[in-house]
Structure 1
Amino acid sequence: MSNQFVHLGDLGPRPGVLKAWERVKHPHGWWFAECCAEFLGVFIYTFAGTGPTFVFNLSNFTKVNNIGSLFGIGLSYAIGLVLAISICAPVSGAHLSPGITIAATIFKGFPPLKALRYVIAQILGAFVACLVVYAQYYEQIKVLSKALEAEGVLDVVNFTPQGIAGCFALYAPVGSSLRYVFFNEFICTFILGIVIWACVDHTNFYVPTSFISVVIGLGYATIIWGFSPVGLAANTARDVGGRLMAVAIWGTKANGGAYAAIAALTNILTACLSLVVYETIFADSSRVVSPDRHHHLHAQAAEQEYRTGNRPAVTHIPEPYGSSEKITA
Structure 2
Amino acid sequence: MATTVSEANARSIVYAGDLQKRSSFFQGWERARHGNLHWLAECFAEAMGVFFYVWAGVGSQAVFVIGNITKQAGLSSLFQIGFAYAAGIVLAIVICSATSGGHFNPCITIVQMLFKGFPPLKGARYIAAQILGGYIACMLVYAQYHHLLHEVQKALPPATLAAIQFTPNGPAGIFGNYLLPGSKLGLAFLNEFVADFMLAIVIFGCVDPSNVLVPPSSVPFVIGLAYAVAIWGFSANGLSANAARDLGGRFAALTIWGKDAVGPQKGYAAISALTNIPATILAAIVHEFMFVDSSRVVPQSHREFYDIHTLHRHHGPAALAVNDTHSNSSDPVKGQIGTNERV
Within a 5 Å distance, the mapping from 1:140-155 to structure 2 comes to 140-148=148-156, 150-155=157-162
Q: Which runs of 5+ in 1 are unaligned?
A: 313-329
2:268 counterpart of 1:268? no
In the alignment, residue 69 of structure 1 is paired with which amino acid? S
Matched, 1:87 2:103: no
Shift of 1:305: 4.7
- Within 5 Å, which residues of 2 pair with 1:20-169? 20-148=28-156, 150-169=157-176
Aligned to 1:325: none
Given the alignment of the two structures, is residue 182 of structure 1 paired with residue 182 of structure 2, yes or no?
Answer: no
- Partners in 1 of 2:319 and 2:19 — Cα distance? 17
SS of residue matched to 2:275 = helix
Indicate the SS of the match to 1:152.
helix
Query: What is the distance in 2 between the residues matched to 1:93 and 1:155?
Result: 43
For the aligned residues, what is the CA RMSD? 1.6
CA distance in structure 1 between the partners assigned to 2:212 and 2:191 by the alignment: 31
CA contact (8 A) 2:34 2:314 kept: no
Q: Equivalents in 2 of 1:108, 1:309: separation in Å? A: 21
Structure 2 portions without partners, runs of 5+: 323-343
Give 1 or 2: higher helix fraction: 1
Q: Assess if the C-alpha contact under 8 Å between 1:47 and 1:129 holds in 2.
A: yes
Matched residue, 2:341: none
- The Cα shift of 1:68 comes to 1.4
SS at match of 1:233: coil
Q: Is the 8 A contact 1:305 1:311 kept in 2?
A: no
Per the TM alignment, residue 12 of structure 1 is displaced from its structure 2 partner at its CA by 4.1
Residue 152 of structure 2 aligns to a residue whose secondary structure is helix
Distance in 2 (alpha carbons) for counterparts of 1:223 and 1:62 = 27
- Contact 2:210/2:298 (<8 A) preserved: yes
Q: Is the contact between residue 158 and residue 164 of structure 1 (CA under 8 Å) also seen in structure 2?
A: yes
Q: 2: distance between equivalents of 1:262 and 1:201? A: 29
Cα pair 1:97 1:119 within 8 Å, conserved:
yes
Query: Which whole-Å CA distance do the structure 1 matches of 2:11 and 2:96 have between them?
Result: 25
Matched, 1:9 2:17: yes
TM-score of the two chains, using structure 1 as the length reference: 0.91
| Matches of 2:286 and 2:315, distance apart in 1 | 36
Displacement of 1:296 in angstroms is 1.1
Q: Are 2:236 and 1:242 equivalent residues in the alignment?
A: no
Aligned partner of 1:303: which letter? Answer: H
SS where residue 71 of structure 1 aligns?
helix
Q: Shift of residue 94 of structure 1? A: 1.1
1:259 aligns with 2:271: no
Percent identical across equivalent pairs?
A: 47
> Residue type of the partner of 1:289?
V
Q: Supply the distance in 2 between the matched residues of 1:304 and 1:184 (Cα, whole angstroms).
A: 45
Maintained 8 Å contact 1:185/1:234 = yes
Letter in 2 for 1:229: A
- Aligned structure 1 segments of 4 or more residues deviating by more than 2 angstroms: 1-4, 304-312
CA drift of 1:299 comes to 1.1
Deviation at 1:152, TM superposition (A): 2.2
